Amino acid sequence: MRLAIQLYSLRSLERSLPDLLALVADSPFEGVEFAGLDSGLGTGVVADQLAATGLEPVAAHVPIEDLEDDPTAVAEQYRDLDCDHLVVPWLEPAVFEERERLSTAIDRLRSVAGELEGTDTRLAYHNHDQEFTTLPAAGDREPTDAFEPFVAGLAEAGIGLELDVGWAVAADRDPIAILERHGDLIDLVHLKDVDGDRPCALGAGDVPLEATVEAAREAEVSWLVYEHDDPNDPAMALERDGERATTLLAGAGDK
């Protein structure tokens, strides 16, 4: 396993993307996950900075609407950066409140995945806490977390799961159990800590970080992607949590 950072964590620094990459290059993180690209900034500039810093482009969060609008163009844009993993970061909470809406959402994702075939691009979905909403009973089906039929739909469509362990814990779910049950779908894990339902520094919240990182290693996850949704001091969080993530990774057997 290796360490990356979701660049959304640094958005309040209001620096250009090349400047953010230079900042990350001075941290323990080896890769980056994009949260969009600077408007008007050519991919060549970003590619040159990636090469200069040695950072690996792990994945990119892309809204499902953008992927539905022109999936091939989006894939080509990120392939220019040697980034071949696109992640849908959000679906509306209402999707997970009714079985019919859930089925429609899975069909949307399946359609996008189909459009991406032939582009050498993988598609995944990143959870928050709404995916763990309880679906009501229907016919002979008992109430159940929306998460389980949703993940089953992802698997059938060949779509991966980027597990955000912080949001899973915020929903009162066990990320270790999810990794054990669905590890074959999970290549990326968002390494996040939460205090209740509020993001916090690694080690200051409720996520069993050591056991979670070990479970990710056992599941052969490729990248731990650090994220803090709203740090008071992003530059300080980058340094502090980068060191903590490095320690966690070493404790899981990655020297």
The answer to whether the pTM exceeds 0.75 is: yes
Torsion of CA 224, 225, 228, 231, to 10 degrees: 110
> What's the whole-number mean pLDDT along residues 84-99?
97
76 — pLDDT class (breaks 50, 70, 90): very high
Structure confidence by residue, pLDDT tens digits, 134-178: 998 888 888 889 999 999 999 999 999 999 999 999 999 999 999
Mean pLDDT of the chain: 96
The pLDDT value recorded for residue 255 is 43
> pLDDT at position 158, please?
97
Q: Is 240 part of a structural domain of the chain? A: no
Write down the residue that tokens 């509306």 correspond to: 92
Tokens representing 183 are: 């590890």
Res 254 pLDDT > 70: no
Residue 104 reports pLDDT greater than 80: yes
- % of the chain with per-residue pLDDT over 70: 99
Amino acid 58 reads V
* Residue 42: strand, helix, or coil: coil
The CATH number of the domain holding residue 158 is 3.20.20.150
Q: What are phi and psi of 22, to 5 degrees?
A: -65, -40
DSSP annotation of 201 reads -
Counting the structural domains of the chain, the total is: 1
For residues 249 and 166, give the distance between their C-alpha atoms in angstroms, rounded to a whole number. 17
Provide the pLDDT confidence category of residue 58 given band limits of 50, 70 and 90. Answer: very high
The 10s digit of each residue's pLDDT in 180-233 is: 999 999 999 999 999 999 999 999 999 999 999 999 999 999 999 999 999 999
Tell me if 208 is assigned to some domain.
yes
Pairing type for strands 144-145 and 134-135 reads: antiparallel
In a domain, 69, yes or no: yes
Nearest CA to 3 among 197, 199, 204, 216?
Answer: 216
Q: How confident is the model at residue 252 (pLDDT cuts 50, 70, 90)?
A: confident
Angle, helices 234-251 vs 209-218, to 10°: value is 60
Quick check: is 70 in a domain? yes
Phi-psi bin for 54: left (phi > 0), alpha (psi -120 to 50), beta?
left
Q: How much of the chain is in helix, strand and coil states, percent to nearest 5? A: 50, 20, 35
Structure tokens at 29: 């993180």
> For residue 173, which amino acid is it?
R
CA distance 235 to 226: 13
Does residue 248 sit within a domain? Answer: no
Candidates 55, 144, 158, 177; CA nearest to 116 is: 158
Specify if 18 maps to a domain: yes
Q: What is the largest CA-CA distance in the chain?
A: 58
The pLDDT of residue 141: 81
DSSP 207-235: --HHHHHHHHHHTT-SEEEE--SS-SSHH
Q: Kindly state whether residue 16 falls inside one of the protein's structural domains.
A: yes
Q: Which helix or strand (DSSP H or E) is residue 193 part of?
A: strand 193-195
- pLDDT on residue 142: 84
Per-residue pLDDT at 213: 98
Containing domain of residue 7, as a range?
Answer: 2-232
